[in-house]
Structure 1
Amino acid sequence: MNSAASRRLLCCAAAAFFAVLPVAALGQASPTPTGEPEVLHGNNGSITEVGVLGRAEYRIDVPASWNRSLVVFYHGYSESPFRFRLDGSIGAQPEQMYKRGFAVIQSGYSETGWALQAGYSDTESLRRYFVKKYGTPRETFAAGGSMGGALTMITMELNKNTYAGGLNLCGAVGPSYVHLDRRFATRAAFDYYFPGLMGSLDPVPPNFEESEALRQKVLTALRAKPDAALAMRELMQLHSDVEVARAIGYFTYVIGDLQKKAGGNPFDNRNWIYTGTSVNTATDYALNDGVRRYAPDKPARDYLMAHYWPNGRLTKPMLALHTIYDPLIPANTLTLYASEVAHAGYADNLVQQYVHREGHCTFTPEEVGRAFDELLTWVHSGKAPQAGLLH
């Protein structure tokens, strides 16, 4: 695809994303909570507020020594509605920003699952409600983990005038179809090795649920076929059968979630070439010859492309932090997005750092705080932090 065609596709994807946003999210209406919010005034002068805005629960935390700046924090993928309680925790990651004097707002989103559209629009409505009630912040930063990292990326691209910088924590950044097609292709490979075990892939049964019983069922099957289990571990670049069992169930749930939202199958593995199943290339030959290939439904594919294909126009600093070994969102996920940012001419506004740890989003709170400090220094001094290991 030539650069002109790429720009047209990115433009259309962004337009499609905006086209489905509620008017309130585009700044043309004043958001008002449904019912009376619950507000707790701390003895030290802090404020915590929870309520419902539109169809999304929300939480606002204003510290006693507020520095008049704001962090808009996006939570990650959730299979169940996100709830906030007045006596509940702010969360380990956003607490680091709060401790540094920042007010923090969080939307629970009006949709579960892969909720980029709802997450962006519900949070933008919450931000404008915050401004209306508490005043215009001196600076506003976006931050979030996992799917919340993707929402941080989207926010930095689509609302660049509002935000001074972004902190992407273990984020599923880049074009959504890339990592979601990978999950779909992985599940198709699993079906080749373990036919019928997980049920239909297109469509995923509407009543599919992740459960411990399902994970144990998959784990038992993996242990009964060690060569197939090895192939799946190598293909998924995972360390154990337990992680394969967890990931296959989760991937299947995500696939079903997107099929429902898109109104059909948005995924495509027809051109996917499977490699690395063992040191014997013959196992790759067998998988590629035998795996079932699926074509997407065009309207559903268009939905996936619109939710979301980044344009790379990252005009403000964004710091990304990842664990070296992440079983759900591999650490190299940011590579494609970094290329898009560079192609758009904004390579200097993206820095990738990592920590020596295994797991998805398993940062210590102190690491999140240090990364946020580096982002603040970058925004205020103009000097970007060093890519690589977070110090």
Structure 2
Amino acid sequence: MLSAPAATSATSGPEEAPCPEAIASTATCYRGVGPAGAHYSVAVPDQWRGSLVVHAHGGPDLGEGSDPERSAEDLDRWSVMVREGYAWAGSSYRRGGYGTRMAAEDTENLRRLFTREFGRPRQTFLHGQSWGGNVAAKLLESRGRHGGYDGALLTSGVLGGGSRGYDYRVDLRAVYQYYCHNHPRPSEPSYPLWQGLPKDSTLTPAQLRDRLQECTGYASPEEERSTGQQRNLDDILAVTGVPERSLASHLNFATFTFRDLVHERLGGRNPFGNRGVRYSGSHDDRALNAGVERFSPDPTAVRDLSYDSDLTGRIPVPVLTLHAIDDPTAFVEHESAYRETVRGAHRSRLLAQSFTTETEHSALSDAEYANSLAALESWTRTGHRPTPRSLARSCPAFDQKYDSGCHYAPDFVPGSYASRVEPRPGGTRWPAMSAARERAWSRVDGVGIAP
């Protein structure tokens, strides 16, 4: 069972609140607490076109309760959507930690609240960012054709699903310990690396960064690293494919989010495995493969994680994705995984994918966000699916307003997911959940997310 403590916060609002500076003179903003205790933010432009964007944020953030500031920060980051005349509604989730279906439920609760408080929008679009792309895609599939959404924009999406979408971080956790021997240290109690950390560990993110620095010198200029540090860093990066600039954040996820997922959501069961994976690219692959810690997943943990976060591909409405080719956090090959999942469900006609030459994860060009929403809205009205070239052609008109650049790469096609992340040979993996299995599991008492 992928579980969570029950939420206790009372519903409140929406109450008028300050808007981000970019829309302060052109919109009215509100804040409140949803029915499960999730804080939310809403913005309605003075010249509202009648359509709504419902935002699902990334993460997952860690913490006990709902973050009252997260949705307000997201409104600021994507205020371009309000500037384009869309109302915007974004929910902080009811608690920190993993839970794709929980986050999807909080997102849907906010859509219903908006309709009740502000009236039914002419059209409603989902926007999922990063892990929120997984949340939004799961919400679309679970709601079905008449679920209240006309289309979805998934940006920088983690679309491989939880049962395989974090395998490169599993590899990082194991490979890092092979080279560094300090997470845990020999003087500390040992534990299986798939846990991330023991449940009661007091290690902090700052202390983890200190250990990473000790082993690799990642935060120092190359000329200040020792020979051993440089060799460790070279091997870890070459074997895992993790970019140097995001090494610390990936190791942080493979430590603290893994702990949350394993101990708080899966009752201590292991959803991860690396047995049978052959690591390559190091100075001595034979020694690495002989010495790295190996482990196999608990099939029931994989089952429950798959139910919570894996996708069937049965999208009921048009979905447009936008992804930077050099995304250092959610590798662009997540798009290949999603493309194959949607193709397996025979819904390819409802998916359009676009790629840019940008190198960031959390924020792309405002012109591209505006262009993407306009193309998605046109697609839902006319039935004409946008193409990479049509998106590249239409973007400059928005860039005249936002001056943030149009960076589309119309000819780019990402490699397969397996070309970036080593498959788990012989392991328990559920790469694409069938609709039949989803229906069957949804009827099993205790499987899935608790409130």
- Tell me how far 1:168 sits from its aligned partner: 0.5
Alignment partner of 1:122 out of 87, 96, 106: 106
Give the alignment's TM-score, normalised by structure 2: 0.72
Give the alignment's TM-score, normalised by structure 1: 0.83
* Contact 1:73-1:106 within 8 A present in 2 as well: yes
* Contact 1:142-1:155 within 8 A present in 2 as well: no
User: What amino acid maps onto 2:152 in structure 1?
Assistant: G
State yes or no: 1:227 paired with 2:231. Answer: yes
Whole-Å separation in 1 of the counterparts to 2:29 and 2:70: 10
Residues 208 and 343 of structure 1, relative CA distance in 2, 3 Å threshold: farther
User: CA offsets per residue over residues 278-329 of structure 1, 9 Å max, x none?
Assistant: 4x6xx33322222111123344333211111211112311111111112221
Alignment partner of 1:243 out of 243, 246, 250: 246
Aligned-pair identity in percent equals: 26
Q: Secondary structure at the match of 1:166?
A: strand
Equivalent residue, structure 2, for 1:55: 37
* Contact 1:266-1:304 within 8 A present in 2 as well: no
Whole-Å separation in 2 of the counterparts to 1:302 and 1:247: 24
The 5 A counterparts of 1:1-391 are 34-40=11-17, 46-53=27-34, 54-77=36-59, 78-80=61-63, 81-84=66-69, 91-160=75-144, 161=146, 162-198=148-184, 200=191, 201-203=193-195, 204-206=197-199, 207=201, 210-223=204-217, 224-240=228-244, 243-260=246-263, 261-278=265-282, 283-387=284-388, 390=408
Residues 222 and 62 of structure 1, relative CA distance in 2, 3 Å threshold: same
Whole-Å separation in 1 of the counterparts to 2:12 and 2:242: 47
Whole-Å separation in 2 of the counterparts to 1:193 and 1:89: 38
Gapped runs of 5+ residues in structure 2? 186-190, 218-227, 390-406, 410-451
Aligned residues: 361
Residues 258 and 357 of structure 1, relative CA distance in 2, 3 Å threshold: same
Residues 248 and 105 of structure 1, relative CA distance in 2, 3 Å threshold: same
- Tell me how far 1:198 sits from its aligned partner: 4.1
User: CA offsets per residue over residues 222-275 of structure 1, 9 Å max, x none?
Assistant: 1433333212111232443x5323321232112111112111233332444133
88-97 vs 155-164, which moves further: 88-97
Q: Secondary structure at the match of 1:104?
A: strand
RMSD: 2.9
User: What amino acid maps onto 2:161 in structure 1?
Assistant: P
Residues 244 and 84 of structure 1, relative CA distance in 2, 3 Å threshold: closer
- Tell me how far 1:40 sits from its aligned partner: 4.4
- Tell me how far 1:341 sits from its aligned partner: 0.6
